[in-house]
């Protein structure tokens, strides 16, 4: 009896839809018009597009959500190293020039 309930639980769990994986955006940093330095010029940033919309707390007005992947930003020295990282970790990506 217990084994049958366990099998039913596993079958229900496996039938749940797989959540969407975030898509990474790779973008090459450029110099701001107000900057004279060359710091971070030529570097590449990898960040994740948000999957879920942010929600606003009605009492405090704070903005929050369950999507923590959109808070991650990774810096790379070259576009090739960012692409290698996404391929090594099976991350779908798009490149913005």
- Say if domain 19-96 classifies as CATH 3.30.300: no
Identify the pLDDT of residue 62: 85
Domain parsing of the chain, residue ranges: 19-96
Confidence of residue 26 (pLDDT cuts 50, 70, 90): very high
Per residue in 71-87, pLDDT (tens digit) is 888 899 889 999 999 99
Confidence of residue 20 (pLDDT cuts 50, 70, 90): low
Asked if the model's pLDDT at residue 12 lies above 60, the reply is no
Cβ-Cβ contacts under 8 Å for 69 (sequence gap 6 or more): 22, 48, 50, 51
The residue behind tokens 């369950």 is: 66
Cβ-Cβ contacts under 8 Å for 77 (sequence gap 6 or more): 42, 43, 44
Q: What is the mean pLDDT of residues 48-56?
A: 78
Against a cut of 0.75, is the pTM above it? no
């Amino acid at each position: 009896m217990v084994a049958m309930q366990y099998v039913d639980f596993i079958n229900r769990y496996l039938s749940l839809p797989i959540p969407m994986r975030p898509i990474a955006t790779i973008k090459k940093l450029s110099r701001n018009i107000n900057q004279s330095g060359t710091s971070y010029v030529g570097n590449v940033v990898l960040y994740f597009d948000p999957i879920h919309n942010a929600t606003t707390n009605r009492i405090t007005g704070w903005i929050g959500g369950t999507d923590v992947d959109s808070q991650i930003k990774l810096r790379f020295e070259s576009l090739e190293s960012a692409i290698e990282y996404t391929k090594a970790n099976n991350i779908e990506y798009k490149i913005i020039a």
